[in-house]
Amino acid sequence: MSYITTQDQTKLFYKDWGTGKPVIFLHGWPLSSDSWDDQAMAIADAGFRCISYDRRGFGRSTHPFNGYDYNTLADDLAAVIEQTGAKDATIVGFSMGGGEVARYMSRHAGKSVAKVVLVASIVPYMLRTEDNPNGTPQKVFDEMTASMKEDRAAFFADFFKTFYGVGLLSTPVSQELLEWSRSVAMQANLKSTLACAQAFASTDFRPDLSAFKVPTLIIHGTDDKTVPIDASARKAAKGISHATLIEYDGAAHGITVTEKDRLTQDLLDFLRNQSSAGV
């Protein structure tokens, strides 16, 4: 297996598929880089170099006790870009991964990045405050934390139903996919799971939006209950000067699975557009 070594000696497992212009995929909470396999394989087959990695504390990466704040996570992304030699890369962040993209753009001035994609991303700010009335109440995050501490496996069983839009009349994914998602989530340790939930719930990325200086594609489902679109994608699209927003009508959060063919095509269309330049 291949690993990147970060500043604090954490080992990040990564996959490096294909050749061509690099595309770096950042996964969502609480999954791993495997959640990008459908898109990464198709995009590599289409002539791009696809790099995906497991966030520290998740999947096959090592599990340090600290380092789950977004500054450190953005530094981890910087290490991936530097050590893989990715130049003029497109960075694609799903859900929590969108925050790493945003913080990298501000903290590292978007070095080596030609384009950005935010997919079902938490950016710009999830928490409900007086100046962010469409955000999620703190009580919801407190209840998530309590449930994970009590029975993490049971929490994820319900969480992934909402994640993929499973309901009484809606079964967009198989039971096997739900079970796989929970098994991947349980590969993360309790500390990293809780600390990353705290980070994505409370980090305000609104000051980071001005650092996006490259073409940016934002894709989000209109029926996303995990990261509601009004507090995320629609606000990000207004705050990022080079942004294009594509809304998937009626789609839930887990669009890498439920809308995988459409998402792959939208990513390829954006990647093949030549109207961008690296930073």
| CB-CB contact of 264 with 248 (8 Å) | no
149 found inside a domain: yes
Set 95, 112, 181, 232: catalytic member: 95
What is the predicted pLDDT for the residue at 277?
A: 42
Please say if the pLDDT value at position 43 is more than 80: yes
| pLDDT tens digits for range 166-202 | 998 889 999 999 999 999 999 999 999 999 999 999 9
279 found inside a domain: no
Map residue 200 onto helix, strand or coil. Answer: helix
Domain count, the chain: 1
18 found inside a domain: yes
Is 242 catalytic? The answer is no
In the structure encoding, which two tokens stand for residue 270, read together?
Answer: 């954006």
Region 100-128 average pLDDT: 98
- Closest by CA to 18, choosing from 109, 113, 95, 84, is 84
94 found inside a domain: yes
What is the predicted pLDDT for the residue at 275?
A: 58
207 found inside a domain: yes
- Identity of residue 57: G
| pLDDT tens digits for range 19-40 | 999 999 999 999 999 999 999 9
Region 55-83 average pLDDT: 98
278 found inside a domain: no
Lowest-confidence region among 115-119, 145-149, 169-173: 169-173
Q: What is the model's pTM?
A: 0.96
69 pLDDT band, cuts 50/70/90, is very high
Is 32 catalytic? The answer is no
211 found inside a domain: yes
Is 230 catalytic? The answer is no
277 found inside a domain: no
What is the predicted pLDDT for the residue at 278?
A: 39
| Residue-range definition of the domain harbouring residue 40 | 2-272
13 DSSP assignment: E
Set 34, 75, 224, 266: catalytic member: 224
Q: Say which CATH number the domain at 20 has.
A: 3.40.50.1820
